[in-house]
Structure 1
Amino acid sequence: MKIAVFDTYVQRPDGRRMHFDILVRDQSPDKDIDVVLAHGRRYLAAKQLPAASLSAQECRFCHVESAPPSVEEEIARIGFAIIELQNCD
């Protein structure tokens, strides 16, 4: 499966800058920015972080790659996957 990777940065309430990737199928409507932002807000809400400020300025398309099986399974299950990179604790 080819996936689109969206590089995402969010300022946390504690001042740290959170960095994570949102992974979706490389097809419409999955890779439409509004859909990707909704996934990002869902992820932030699950971490009990404010999600209202997430916009296309903080979340940008980066590249397309082949998904490993674990990512394919996650996308098949919930429609997206997250790779936590910095300050996602």
Structure 2
Amino acid sequence: MQVSVFDTYVTRTDGTLMHFDILVPSNVTCTDTIHQYGQTYLATKGQGGQPLTAKECQFCHIEQATEEVQTSITNQGFHIIEMQGCH
């Protein structure tokens, strides 16, 4: 499965920066859908409602999905890779 990777930076409610990637099937191109996936993830981190637009979330590249990523996408439609400030 090919996935699109969206590089995402969101300012947390405490002012620190969260950096994470949103991975979706490469045929998912609706930015509203991708941003909604990001909002779903942010809500799990207590950061629901933080701004998440094309300014914070930009297409980066397409790659081959690992089994873990494919399972996550099958279960919820997307996968998150936490990079910085997500814990």
Please confirm whether the aligned pair reaches a TM-score higher than 0.5, indicating the same fold. Answer: yes
**Aligned-partner SS, 1:82:** strand
Which range moves more in the overlay, 49-58 or 33-42?
Answer: 49-58
Aligned to 1:12: 12
Q: Deviations over 1:4-33 (max 9, x none)?
A: 000000001111110000000000xx2321
**SS of the residue aligned with 2:71?**
helix
Pairing 1:3–2:24 present:
no
Distance in 1, Cα, partners of 2:29 & 2:67 = 19
Query: 1:52: how far off?
Result: 4.2
User: TM-score when scaled to structure 2?
Assistant: 0.95
Moved over 4 A (4+): none
Alignment partners' CA distance in 2, 1:52 and 1:16: 12
Percent identical residues: 47
Distance in 2, Cα, partners of 1:15 & 1:31:
30
Q: Secondary structure at the match of 2:42?
A: helix
Q: Deviation digits for residues 21-78 of structure 1, max 9, x if unmatched? A: 0000000xx2321110000000001111133411110000000000000000100110
Mapped to 2, the partners of 1:48 and 1:7 lie a distance apart of 20
Name 1:37's counterpart in structure 2: 35
What's the RMSD between the two structures over aligned residues? Answer: 0.9
